[in-house]
Amino acid sequence: MWSSKTRLSAAATAISPNFSARRTTGRRRRRPRDLISSVEAYLVRVDRDFQIKAYRVVAPQLQIGETEADAIERCRRRVRELRANHDRCLAAPFHSSVIKKIERERIAALAERGAPDVFSAIESGEAVRWPTVDIHLNTIKR
């Protein structure tokens, strides 16, 4: 596996005839090595162990007697089916066991928050202390 610097250098060599010949209006000319150094600096900021990996594209398979246009339409139809299934799953109600589990956890958290403090009652005979919540209301003065 090549390092990211080697791959970027190879890419710069490949694009250098086209890239350096162009000049943008109102901006300075950017050479491929400037682009490469900018990309390298970005990659180092993002992830120090960054590796560029080659991605192999799988050629689409045409079915018997199918043209490219038919294959595109078949894929579009499949995408529509998958989106409809996704929407159906999102719109489906939650199973009651899931809701019961969520509510049990919520009630347990509320019970824990509202549990009385009996330590002082046991140790020194004071009254049982119940938890309180301070609520600050902002009022508008006229």
pLDDT of amino acid 132: 86
What's the predicted TM-score (pTM) here?
0.36
Stretch among 19-28, 113-122, 124-133 having the lowest mean pLDDT? 19-28
pLDDT of amino acid 20: 46
In three-state secondary structure terms, 19 is helix
How does DSSP classify residue 92?
Answer: S
* Residue 47 dihedral angles phi and psi, to the nearest 5°: -155, 120
pLDDT at 13 over 50: yes
pLDDT at 59 over 70: yes
pLDDT at 24 over 60: no
Residue ranges covered by each domain of the chain: 4-46
- pLDDT digits over 77-125, tens only? 999 999 999 999 999 998 999 999 999 999 999 999 888 988 888 988 8
Cα-Cα-Cα-Cα dihedral of 68, 74, 80, 82, to 10°? -120
